[in-house]
Structure 1
Amino acid sequence: MSNKRYVMLADVTRCINCKACVVACRAEWETPLGQSRDWVAEVEDCDQNGMPELQFFPGRCQHCDDAPCVSACPTGAAWKRDDGIVLVDDPLCSGCELCVPACPYDARWLDPETGKINKCTFCQPRVDQGLQPACVETCVGGALHFGDANDPDSEVSKLLAEKEWVQLTTDEVPGSTAHYYYTGGKPLPQAVLPHPVQQTIQEKAISDVVNPAAKVGLGAMAVTFAAAGVKKLIDRRNQVSRDEHPETSEQEER
C-alpha cells in the first residue's frame, strides 16, 4: 500500500496561456495531431469594475477519488493506483470507449493510432522516476505544481495550507479529485465545471452484466470485447440512420 497521495495544483491567477504545458505534454507522449492530454480553457469574465477580462484554466484528467471511468470500464483496463493516479492498462483496453462518455471532464479519447484509450496520467513514468510531470516542468508562469499531499514538507502541502483551493465538482458531479485550482477568490465559471453524464441502455447493460464477469479471466474478457464491438456497431448504425433521415432525428431530439 502506498502512503503517497499525488495531487496537481493549478494557480489560475498565474496562468498566462502560453500553452507550454500543452506542447510539452504532446512532445512527451507523442500524441496524434488534433489530440491532447491537457489543454488551457479560455473563459471570458468581467472584473470588479465591470471591465472584460480573460481567465485561463489548465485542464486535464482530474484523477477522481471515485473515478466513474473505472466503474464504466468493462475489462478492468481503467484503474486507480493507491497514490491516486488513474491509469489505463493498454493490454486490457478493448477500445470500446465506454469510459469516454463516463468522464464528466471530457478528458478521455480513443487514440486513432493505437486503438486504445488515451488521457493524462500525471506523467506516471516520470513521477515513478522522481521527476515532475512534463507540463509542470515547463510551466512558464509557475501556475502548475505537483507532488505528494501526504508529505507535510512537500511544496504542494505547503501551498494547500497557504491558499484557498477549490475543485471542479458540483452537486451533480460530487466527490473529490486529485486536481485543485486557486482562483484568487473568484467563483468557478460554469464553462469549466464538469457535466453530469448518463449511461446509454447498451452501456449500462455492458457495465452491469459484463463488467463483473469480465475480470474473471481471458474467456470472459473475450465476451467483453465482443459486447464492446456490438456497442460500436449499434452506435455506427444509429449514426448512419441519423445521416440518412435527418428529419426523423430532429423530431426525436425534440
Structure 2
Amino acid sequence: MSLETVSCNQSFGGWHKQYTHDSQTLDCNMRFAIYLPPQSQDKTVPVLYWLSGLTCTDENFMQKSGAQRIASELGMAIVAPDTSPRGDHVPDDPDAAYDFGLGAGFYLNATQQPWRQHYRMYDYVVSELPELIEQQFPVNDKRSIAGHSMGGHGALVIALRNPDRYSSVSAFSPICHPLKAPWGQKAFLGYLGNDREQWQNYDACELLKISSEAIPALVDQGSADAFLHQQLHLDALTKTVADTGYPMTIRMQDGYDHSYYFIATFIEDHLRFHWEMGKMG
C-alpha cells in the first residue's frame, strides 16, 4: 500500500509525520499522522491510536496535546487518523452541520444511503489502518486506544468490542451513552437508520453490560464541561461500571472544560497508564 508524505517534523528526538493513502475501506484518500519516538530507530515500539472529536482532523491532538514529550520518554508511537472520510465525492450533511457528515464519522460502519459507501470508520480504525501501520512502520502488535469526546466514544466502543486487539483504553470527555445523547441520536439515525439494536453496538454503556473480557480503562471528565449533562452522560457510564464491576477508573477533574487545555493537563497520566497497565514496556 503506497503512502504519500505530507509533512515531517522532528519532535523530542523523534519524528512527527503526516501521510495520505488510498483507503479501500472508506473508498477515498485518507490522511493520518504518526509520532515515532527515538527508540523506533533501533527496535519496534508499542503504539497508541488516538481518536479525535467532532470537527477535528489528525492535527488537533498532535499539535495541541503535548503528548510527544512523554511518548518520546516512554518509547511509544502515536497514530492519529482523521475523524471521517474526506473528498469531493464523499457526501456531507446537506446543511453542513458540524455534528454529522464530514468531520463527524462517529467511528461506526454506516448502513444507510448515501453514507454506507464511505462512512466505515469502525472498520478503518480496527483493521485497515493498523494493518498499514504495522506493515510500514517500526511498531509492534502492542496496541492501546484513546480518544476525546466523539473519539472517546469511539475508543471505548472499539476496545469493548475488540478486547483481544487492545491492551488498554482511555478517554477524555467521552460521549458515554450516545443512545441518550442528541449528538449520538442524530448520528445513529442518519448512519444506521431506525434499527435500535444496531445502535446498541456503538454505545459503551450497552456494550459494558454484555462484556465478557475486560481490559484496563481510564476516563477523565471535566466538571466545567458545557456538554457534560446533555451530551456526555458520564453518570450513565459510572452507574454501568459500578453495576458490572468493569475495571474502569473514572475521574472527575474539578474546573476543567471540554478543551485541549484539559487534555494537555492530563495526557501524561493517560500515556503512563497505557504504558503500565497495557504492559507496553
Query: Smaller-chain TM-score range?
Result: under 0.3
Higher RCO (C-alpha 8 Å, min separation 6): 1
Name which one, 1 or 2, has greater alpha-carbon Rg.
1
TM-score, normalised to structure 1's length?
A: 0.27
TM-score, normalised to structure 2's length?
A: 0.25
More strand by share: 2
